[in-house]
C-alpha cells in the first residue's frame, strides 16, 4: 500500500554551467508538486571561481556534485558526463522521469530519447532556452518564474510585477486550446483547458504572464466569458470578435443608388 501511494521518482540532473544557484529553492519546490527528487546531481568544473557560489547550496539541498575538469578549451566534459549518467539511470528502470536543468539546446536529443523510452522529462531553463529543447520536454518551466516564486510575496489574486510577458500574449494559445475542445454551446471546463495547454506548448505557464493560477490569467485577459455557479467548476467561453474598423468603413463608403430624374432618363414631361 505504501508503494502505491508513493510519488513518482525523478532524477534531477543540473548543468551548473548554465544554471544559477539562486533558482534552487524554487526548483525543488516546483518538483515537489509532481514527484520526488530521488537523485540530485550537478555537473561542472567546481574548481573554477565561476562556480564557487554553488558550494553552500549543494550541502543545503543534498545535491551530489560531479566534478568535471575542463582539460580542453571548447569541449564541455560536463555535458557529456550528464548525458552518460542520464542514460545509465534511464536503463536502470528505477525512475518515472527526469528533470533536466539547463538552458543549453545540446540536451534536446537526450530529452527526446528519454521520452521515446517512456520516461517523463521536465525541463528547467531560462526564457532564452532554444525552442528545440523546450519542445522536446513534456513540460518546460522557466527558471525566472521559479526565482519570482521564491523571492516575492505576490498574492494569488492579481498580476505580478515580475511578468515575463503581458497577459494579452496568452490569448492566442488560450483560444487554440478552447477551440480544440469546444462544445456546441461554446462553453468548456477550465480544467480541460489546463490539461490541453501543455500539449500545445510545453512551456505554457500562467506565471509567465504574471499570474499564479490559470483562472486568474483567463480573467486578466478580459476576452473570455466566465461561468462559475455555486458548487460548479469554472467554465469559459470565447467572446465573439467585434467587426474590425476597416470592414465598417468599407460598408459605410458604399454609395447609395439614387433614382434617376425624368431629365436624366431622357423622357420628356407629359
> How high is the pLDDT of residue 170?
94
Q: Which domain holds residue 228?
A: 154-242
Domain assignment present for residue 129? The answer is: yes
pLDDT band, very low/low/confident/very high, at 231 (cuts 50, 70, 90): low
215 Cβ partners below 8 Å, 6+ apart? 190, 234
Domain shared by 64 and 95, yes or no:
yes
CATH, residue 54: 3.40.50.1010
Q: Which of the listed residues 103, 120, 151 is the one where a domain comes to its end?
A: 151
* Total length of the chain: 270
Q: Are the beta carbons of 68 and 45 closer than 8 angstroms?
A: yes
Which has the higher per-residue pLDDT, 105 or 155? 105
Task: Lowest mean pLDDT of 22-31, 123-132, 186-195, name the range.
Answer: 186-195
Domain shared by 129 and 162, yes or no:
no
Domain shared by 165 and 142, yes or no:
no
Q: Give yes or no for residue 30 having a pLDDT over 50.
A: yes
Domain assignment present for residue 238? The answer is: yes
pLDDT band, very low/low/confident/very high, at 270 (cuts 50, 70, 90): very low
Domain assignment present for residue 268? The answer is: no
> How high is the pLDDT of residue 155?
42
Q: 126-172 pLDDT, tens per residue?
A: 999 999 999 999 999 999 999 865 444 344 444 444 688 999 999 99
> How high is the pLDDT of residue 76?
80
Domain assignment present for residue 267? The answer is: no
Selection from 67-81, 179-193, 210-224, 252-266 with the highest mean pLDDT = 210-224
> How high is the pLDDT of residue 148?
63
Cα–Cα dist 103/143, whole Å: 9
Q: Are the beta carbons of 201 and 123 closer than 8 angstroms?
A: no
pLDDT band, very low/low/confident/very high, at 229 (cuts 50, 70, 90): confident
Q: Give yes or no for residue 75 having a pLDDT over 70.
A: no
Q: What is the pLDDT averaged over residues 22-28?
A: 96
Domain shared by 85 and 201, yes or no:
no
CATH, residue 198: 3.30.420.610
Domain shared by 184 and 65, yes or no:
no
Percent of the chain, pLDDT > 70?
A: 79
Domain shared by 147 and 185, yes or no:
no
Domain assignment present for residue 31? The answer is: yes
Domain shared by 127 and 162, yes or no:
no
Domain shared by 113 and 186, yes or no:
no
Q: Which of the listed residues 151, 173, 201 is the one where a domain comes to its end?
A: 151
Three cell numbers written together for 147: 526565482
Q: What is the pLDDT averaged over residues 233-260?
A: 62
3-state helix/strand/coil string of the chain: CCCCCCCCEEEEEEEHHHCCHHHHHHHHHHHCCCCEEEEEEEEECCCCHHHHHHHHHHHHCCCEEEECCCCCCCCCHHHHHHHHHHHHHHHHCCCCEEEEECCCHHHHHHHHHHHHCCCEEEEEECCCCCHHHHHHCCEEEEHHHHHHHHHCCCCCCCCCCCCCCCHHHHHHHHHHHHHHHCCCCCCEEHHHHHHHHHHHCCCCCHHHHCCCCHHHHHHHHCCEEEECCCCCCCEEEECCCCCCHHHHHHHHCCCCCCCCCHHHHCCCCC
Task: Lowest mean pLDDT of 148-157, 200-209, 218-227, name the range.
Answer: 148-157
Domain shared by 44 and 132, yes or no:
yes
> How high is the pLDDT of residue 242?
57
pTM of the model: 0.78
Q: Please state, in angstroms and as integers, the Cα–Cα distance from residue 189 to each residue in 195, 224, 233, following that order.
A: 10, 12, 7
Q: Are the beta carbons of 27 and 143 closer than 8 angstroms?
A: yes
> How high is the pLDDT of residue 258?
57
Q: Which of the listed residues 151, 185, 211 is the one where a domain comes to its end?
A: 151
Cα–Cα dist 133/115, whole Å: 13
Triad 103, 217, 196: Cα angle to 5°: 70
Cα–Cα dist 161/151, whole Å: 12
Three cell numbers written together for 71: 582539460
Q: What is the mean pLDDT of the chain?
A: 84
Domain shared by 166 and 115, yes or no:
no
Domain assignment present for residue 262? The answer is: no
Q: Are the beta carbons of 142 and 164 closer than 8 angstroms?
A: yes
Domain shared by 48 and 125, yes or no:
yes
Q: Are the beta carbons of 141 and 12 closer than 8 angstroms?
A: no
pLDDT band, very low/low/confident/very high, at 71 (cuts 50, 70, 90): low
Domain shared by 108 and 89, yes or no:
yes
Q: How many domains does the chain have?
A: 2
Torsion 11-139-16-86 (CA) sign = positive
Domain assignment present for residue 58? The answer is: yes
Amino acid at each position: 500500500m505504501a508503494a502505491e501511494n508513493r510519488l513518482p521518482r525523478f532524477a534531477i540532473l543540473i548543468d551548473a554551467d548554465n544554471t544559477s544557484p539562486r533558482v534552487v529553492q524554487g526548483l525543488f519546490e516546483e518538483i515537489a508538486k509532481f514527484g520526488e527528487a530521488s537523485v540530485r546531481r550537478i555537473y561542472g568544473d567546481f574548481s573554477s571561481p565561476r562556480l564557487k557560489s554553488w558550494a553552500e547550496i549543494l550541502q543545503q539541498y543534498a545535491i551530489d556534485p560531479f566534478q568535471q575538469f575542463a582539460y580542453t578549451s571548447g569541449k564541455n566534459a560536463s555535458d557529456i558526463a550528464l548525458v552518460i549518467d542520464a542514460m545509465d539511470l534511464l536503463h536502470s528502470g528505477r525512475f518515472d522521469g527526469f528533470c533536466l536543468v539547463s538552458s543549453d539546446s545540446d540536451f534536446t536529443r537526450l530529452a527526446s530519447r528519454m521520452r521515446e523510452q517512456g520516461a517523463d522529462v521536465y525541463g528547467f531553463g531560462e526564457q532564452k532556452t532554444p525552442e528545440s529543447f523546450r519542445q522536446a520536454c513534456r513540460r518546460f518551466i522557466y527558471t525566472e518564474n521559479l526565482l519570482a516564486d521564491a523571492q516575492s510575496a505576490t498574492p494569488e489574486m492579481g498580476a505580478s510585477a515580475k511578468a515575463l510577458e503581458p497577459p494579452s500574449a496568452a490569448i492566442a494559445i488560450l483560444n487554440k486550446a478552447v477551440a480544440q475542445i469546444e462544445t456546441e454551446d461554446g462553453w468548456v471546463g477550465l480544467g480541460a483547458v489546463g490539461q490541453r495547454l501543455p500539449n500545445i506548448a510545453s512551456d505554457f505557464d500562467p506565471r509567465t504572464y504574471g499570474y499564479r493560477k490559470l483562472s486568474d490569467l483567463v480573467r486578466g485577459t478580459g476576452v473570455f466569458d466566465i461561468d462559475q455557479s455555486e458548487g460548479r467548476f469554472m467554465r469559459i467561453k470565447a467572446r465573439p470578435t467585434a467587426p474590425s474598423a476597416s470592414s465598417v468603413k468599407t460598408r459605410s463608403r458604399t454609395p447609395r443608388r439614387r433614382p434617376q430624374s425624368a431629365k436624366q432618363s431622357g423622357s420628356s414631361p407629359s
